[in-house]
Chains A and B, each alone.
Chain A
Amino acid sequence: MEVLLNDFSPGLFIVQTILLLGLIFLMVKFAWKPILNSLNEREAGIEEALSAADKARTDMQNLQADNEKMLQEARAEREAMLKEAREIKEKMIADSKEQAKLEGDKMLKQAQTAIESEKKAAVADIKNQVAELSVAIAEKVLKEDLSSNDKQLKLVDTMLSDIKLN
């Protein structure tokens, strides 16, 4: 302890105190203040940039989510429209089928009645012709000489072929 105290130089202590005070003052004024200020500024800048990037990212995500939602909605709408169109188409086809069937039936009926009436007219006509033919044949038969059997048969044949030709 005595040696330590003996080694302690008050002069050096005073000189060191003055120099250290000066050094602290100069360092704070010319070095630490500007350095620390710039460092703080830079850190604040970095923090700001980071938070801005963060915000941009969330914005982007929101935008993407919105897009996705809109796309979903559009898709659903398209689906609904397609479904509706299909339904309409099917309904139209069914309707037209029904109508066609009805029309066809109606035409068929008309045709049938027309045929029927034609048939009736034809039959009546045939009946008339048959009657006329019968009368004509009878007339001819009566006019011809019915002497022989052969002649009779021949006559009948010619008459029949006449009818055919008719």
Chain B
Amino acid sequence: MMQVSNTIKTLLQLLILCFSLQSFALSDAEPKGTVSSKEQVDAYILHHLKDSHDFHLFSYSNDAGERKHVGFPLPVILWSSNGLATFMSSEFHHDDNGQVIVESNGSKFVKLHSKIYELNAGASSVNFDEDHHATNAQKVLDFSITKSVVGVLLVGLLMLLAFSSLAKQYGKKKIPTGFGRVLEPLVLYVRDEIARPNIGEKHYRKFTGYLLTVFFFIWVLNLLGLTPFGFNVTGQIAVTACLAIFTLIIYTVSGNKDYWMHILWMPGVPVFVRPILAVIELAGAFIIKPFSLLVRLFANISAGHIVIMSLIAIMFTLKESLGVAGATGLSLVLSFFILLIEVLVAFLQAYIFTTLSALFIGMAVAEHDHDHHHDEAGHEVADTEDVRADFI
């Protein structure tokens, strides 16, 4: 009981922290701030969508007109031409235009549009071409603990804590209490509504662990993206690509003979069509399916962030035409409703990603012991599984 009340207290504190931070974030949009014109808003939104090397909470201008940033630096870990280089992101001094050069392990690094470049040997400053691309610097492999990595670690830790405590509860009692009572139906939901119907009674157990992990990982990260901390983890294409490739590997590895037969040498189709269909099927299995997974999640979450930030920006972009109160009111009302929708989308995208993963796995492990029905001409009559696959 004590533990539960402590958990609730912590959550409340977190919530209060969120709101207080939000008020700071809003004060950032005061007229004297630097983000006020349409171009600055666009740049700010695009900047937010990208991963960031430091944990920026808010900025303000002090009495002297200086721009102050509040947040904390994160470690930068790079694999450069001279080997591993590590330093704190604060060494860039919030520069994002390649002006500040950091020397580490014998290499010179600059940060340009949230990416870290290594200057070519002998160069002392970055040269740009007309498109503002660096001409004398190369991208490096960047293993930094970026904001997204922090988000992933945070969510992973939260998941581990929450669900291992739920797992421990079962040792003592049959029915969980406290927060476990909230988590159990969610676990049951994923198992009974996503894994079991899509994969099938016989095989679902093996994949439920993966599906549960992915579901809660995406859902919590999506929700975290809606807090004013400004995480955009599931809007990072590298993250969604990683998730999609995990699903791809799982259904490719666990695909049975029927699955590969249906891809490479499908029965019930004229022989000369089979190679052509095989190319299409292969493309579907290895490119289209994972691509649809990664782009759907990435695009939905990015779009949600763009819309919410744009609606918040109404507050100062429409200030001239609507007045301060009008613009603020409109912005608050619209962004509030979109935020509600985004809460739904956060769940929906986690659900869709998990369901499609389960479906793809289910198609790969489906046993065709029920035999496809063949009509008089020997053609296959599509069964529900195939029909379902056509809709994806």
Contacts and interface: CB of A to CB of B under 8 A. Distances in A.
Interface string A1-31: 0001001111111111101101110111011
B238 A23 contact: no
Contacts of A15: 143, 149, 152
Interface stretch (A34-42, A104-112, A147-155): A34-42
A34 B212 CA distance: 13
A23 B167 contact: no
Given A17-B242, A23-B156, A27-B212, A12 B166 contact: no
Given A9-B142, A15-B143, A35-B166, A20 B243 contact: yes
A36 B241 contact: no
Contact of B238 (A13, A22, A24, A35): A13
A33 interface: yes
Interface string B76-93: 000100000000000000
A36 B208 contact: yes
B343 interface: no
Contacts of A26: 156, 160
A39 B159 CA distance: 18
Contacts of B141: 10-11, 14
B347 interface: no
A24 to B, nearest CB: 5
B55 interface: no
Contacts of B156: 19, 22-23, 26
Given A13-B241, A15-B149, A23 B143 contact: no
B323 to A, nearest CB: 36
A4 B242 contact: no
Interface in B184-232: 184, 187-188, 191, 205, 208-210, 212-213, 217
A22 to B, nearest CB: 8
A19 B238 CA distance: 13
B174 A11 contact: no
Nearest to A36: B208
B142 A27 contact: no
A28 B187 contact: no
A60 B167 CA distance: 39
B213 A32 contact: yes
Given A10-B141, A39-B188, A30 B238 contact: no
B36 to A, nearest CB: 25
B146 A12 contact: yes
A104 B236 CA distance: 127
Given A35-B170, A35-B187, A16 B163 contact: no
A20 B246 contact: yes
Nearest to A28: B209
Contact of A32 (B184, B212, B246): B212
Contact of B163 (A4, A11, A22, A35): A35
Contacts of A45: 174
Nearest to B49: A7
Contact of A20 (B50, B160, B205, B217): B217
Given A16-B238, A16-B242, A39-B187, A31 B152 contact: no
Contacts of B205: 36
Contacts of A27: 159-160, 163, 209, 212-213
Q: Of B149, B210, B242, which is in contact with the most chain A CB atoms at under 10 Å from its CB? A: B242
Nearest to B50: A7
Nearest to A14: B143
B294 to A, nearest CB: 10
A28 B167 CA distance: 11
Contacts of B212: 27, 32
B144 A31 contact: no
Contacts of A8: 237-238, 241
B239 A12 contact: yes
A18 B143 CA distance: 11
B85 to A, nearest CB: 13
Given A32-B212, A33-B209, A9 B238 contact: yes
A49 B187 CA distance: 23
A86 B242 CA distance: 97
15 contacts: A8-B241, A11-B141, A11-B144, A12-B51, A12-B146, A12-B149, A12-B236, A12-B238, A13-B241, A19-B149, A31-B159, A32-B209, A33-B209, A34-B167, A36-B205
Given A20-B242, A23-B152, A34-B170, 20 more contacts: A7-B50, A8-B241, A11-B142, A12-B51, A12-B148, A15-B143, A16-B148, A16-B239, A19-B156, A26-B156, A27-B159, A27-B212, A30-B160, A31-B166, A33-B167, A34-B171, A35-B184, A36-B209, A39-B187, A42-B174
8 shortest interchain CB distances as A-B pairs: A31-B163, A38-B170, A11-B142, A34-B167, A13-B238, A28-B209, A12-B238, A32-B209
